[in-house]
Structure 1
Amino acid sequence: MSFASKWSQPIRWLHLGLFLTITAQLFLSLVMAGPDDKHQSLLEHSTLIAHEYIGLVAAAIILAHWVYLALAERVTFEHLFPWSRAGLAGVFAEIGGLLRGRLPDDNEQAGLAGLIHGLGLLLATAMGFTGTVMYFLLQAGKMESTGYDVAVYIHGTLANLMWAYWIGHGLMAIMHQLLGHDTLRGIFRLGR
Structure 2
Amino acid sequence: MEKAWDIKIRLLHWAIALTATFQQLSSLYMSDPGTQYLFPYHRILGAVAALVLLFFWLYSYAIYDLKVLFPWGGDGRRAVVREGLGLLRGRLPASGRGIGLSGFVHGLGLLALSGCAITGMIMFSMIPPGHVGPPADGIAFTRYTLQHKFFGQMLWLYWCGHVAFALVHQIAGDRVFGAIFGFARRRE
For these two proteins, the number of residue pairs brought into alignment is: 179
Task: State yes or no: 1:102 paired with 2:100.
Answer: no
- 1:87 Cα deviation after fit: 0.4
CA gap of 1:16–1:173, structure 2 versus 1, over 3 A, is same
Cross-structure match for 2:164: 171
Within the candidate set 31, 40, 44, 1:53 is matched to 44
**Partner amino acid, structure 2, of 1:92:** V
Cross-structure match for 2:28: 30
Instruction: Give RMSD over aligned pairs.
Output: 2.1
CA contact (8 A) 2:76 2:99 kept: no
Task: State yes or no: 1:160 paired with 2:153.
Answer: yes
State the SS of the aligned residue for 1:142: coil
Cross-structure match for 1:20: 18
Structure 2: distance between partners of 1:32 and 1:171: 26
Q: Deviations over 1:122-175 (max 9, x none)?
A: 111110000010111012873543321211010011111111111111111111
Q: Which runs of 4+ in 1 moved over 6 A?
A: none
Cross-structure match for 2:180: 187
Q: Deviations over 1:12-71 (max 9, x none)?
A: 11111111001001111122238xxxxx33xx1221111111100000001111111222
- Please give the TM-score of this superposition, normalised by the length of structure 2: 0.87
CA contact (8 A) 1:33 1:48 kept: no
Q: Equivalences for 1:28-177 in 2 at 5 Å?
A: 28-33=26-31, 40-41=33-34, 44-72=35-63, 74=64, 76-139=65-128, 142-177=135-170
Unpaired runs of 5+ residues, structure 2, are: none
Structure 2: distance between partners of 1:187 and 1:142: 41
- Please give the TM-score of this superposition, normalised by the length of structure 1: 0.85
Structure 2: distance between partners of 1:138 and 1:101: 49
CA contact (8 A) 1:104 1:110 kept: no
